[in-house]
Amino acid sequence: MPSVAFLLVLLLLSATLFVAPKKGYSENEKRILAQAPQFTLERLADGKFTKDLESFVSDQFPLRDFFVGVNAYFNLVSGRNSTAPVYYGKDGYLIGAPADLSTDTALKNVQSFSDFAEENKLSATIMVVPQCGYVMADKLPSLHGEYTDDKIFEVISKNKGNMTFIDVRDTFNKAKNDVQLYYKTDHHITSAGAYELYKLYAAEKEFDVTTDYEVKTEPDFYGTSYSKSGYWLSKPDVLEMWYNKNLKVTVEITEPGKDVVKNDSVFFTDRLEENDKYPVYLDGNHSLTKITNPNAKGGKLLIIKDSFAHCFTAFLAEQYSEIYMVDMRYYRTSVSDLVAENGISEVLYLYGTESMGTDTNSSWLS
């Protein structure tokens, strides 16, 4: 009888799949869900229809969030935490499993960065943020994969050429017991962690840094680690926005084929009304973001980056008259022309080790 009841429930849920309204977006998983695929004989023959149908059934299955959560917690209690894409760590930390980092990819990125700086006569600095699991090793479960961030740092150190390499490892390892460097539900560093980066950069450049900030908080932040985990009972993080009361900037976001978006703050507070709140920092990932500060003493800086730069640059804006943030995942015009047209003299490469060891978009840097 139990098996018959199970089959009846399964059949009922399967039938419900085709009559229930379809969700376009999963708030827990922070992604667009697959929709019903279009059937053609050609798509059936080449396997695309079957593949898309599997994605549709997986994404739209009734009570999907419930079953994803049940599966995650079942794996946890049955001892399979070490095989999950996100580890259920100590003290509420949800930590991404180690990324498969390639030293060859890291080497190509470093060489591209060095060559670009040389060709454009730029003073170059490189900073790389380690994975959360590398720094917060004491929060990992007893069984976990190996974090190979040290290999990425070694590649940079040996091949940096004339670039200044600011190694953050010692600072982070010393600060982690006093400062929450990483979010518990997200792979990014917190505002406090970004401030540690900022102090390191400022010390290298001999900048005076602001210490008096007005800190505003936003509760109930669930980040990328949470959305990938299925651990829906986890406690949320708190986002912090550190306002420099003397900072007066204009932010301009440029995307091909779209109107320029302007803001008078490094914080886009309208983003706090959305499910994904992290883009409150400089509106998230964009092709080109320009920050103008007419009161700054510094010159013009180019930042080639991934998303680890967003919160950090909110601090750095006080130092430079103009900052141009370029994301090579989206920027497809000449960066050299951008440098020449705007009289830029410095470049900062700011990435996470995961991007350094996996992302190949620096090949577009020219």
Which pLDDT score is estimated for 38?
Answer: 75
**Nearest by Cα to 314 from 339, 342, 338, 293:** 293
CA distance 194 to 240: 11
Q: DSSP characters for 308-358?
A: THHHHHHHHTTTEEEEEEE-TTT--S-HHHHHHHHT--EEEEEEEHHHHHH
pLDDT tens digits, 326-345 = 999 999 999 999 999 999 99
Record the pTM: 0.86
**Nearest by Cα to 117 from 150, 165, 81:** 165
CB-CB contact of 101 with 152 (8 Å): yes
Q: What angle do CA 238, 198, 303 make, to 5 degrees?
A: 100
Which pLDDT score is estimated for 196?
Answer: 97
CB-CB contact of 223 with 185 (8 Å): yes
Task: Scan for tokens 């601090």, then name that residue.
Answer: 315
Q: What angle do CA 16, 17, 22 make, to 5 degrees?
A: 115
Which pLDDT score is estimated for 64?
Answer: 72
**Nearest by Cα to 277 from 289, 288, 267, 263:** 267
**3 state DSSP class of 21:** coil
In a 13 Å sphere around the CA of 198, the CA atoms on its Cβ side amount to 24
pLDDT tens digits, 47-84 = 766 776 566 656 655 567 777 778 888 888 888 887 78
**Nearest by Cα to 278 from 235, 227, 320:** 227
Q: Which residues are 237's β-sheet partners? A: 221
Q: What angle do CA 303, 266, 308 make, to 5 degrees?
A: 45
Q: DSSP characters for 266-301?
A: SB-GGGGGSS--GGGBTTS--SEEEEE-TT-SEEEE
Token digits of residue 313? 């640059």
**3 state DSSP class of 26:** strand
**3 state DSSP class of 23:** coil
Which pLDDT score is estimated for 173?
Answer: 97
CB within 8 Å of 62: residues ≥ 6 apart: 13, 16, 17, 20
- Helices H, strands E: what count in the chain? 13, 14
CB-CB contact of 302 with 277 (8 Å): no
Q: pLDDT tens string for the chain (366 positions)?
A: 555 444 454 455 455 555 556 555 555 555 566 666 776 766 667 776 677 656 665 665 556 777 777 888 888 888 888 778 999 999 999 999 999 999 999 999 999 999 999 999 999 999 999 999 999 999 999 999 999 999 999 999 999 999 999 999 999 999 999 999 999 999 999 999 999 999 999 999 999 999 899 999 999 999 999 999 999 999 999 999 999 999 999 999 999 889 999 999 999 999 999 989 999 999 999 999 999 999 999 999 999 999 999 999 999 999 999 999 999 999 999 999 999 999 999 999 999 999 999 999 999 998
**Nearest by Cα to 366 from 327, 337, 329:** 337
Displacement of CA 157 from its chain's centroid (Å): 24
CA distance 71 to 84: 11
Long-range contacts of 327-332 (CB under 8 A, 24+ apart): 327/285, 327/286, 327/287, 327/288, 328/304, 328/359, 328/361, 328/362, 328/364, 328/365, 329/285, 329/359, 329/361, 330/255, 330/285, 330/286, 330/287, 331/287, 331/288, 331/364, 332/256, 332/287, 332/364
Which pLDDT score is estimated for 262?
Answer: 97
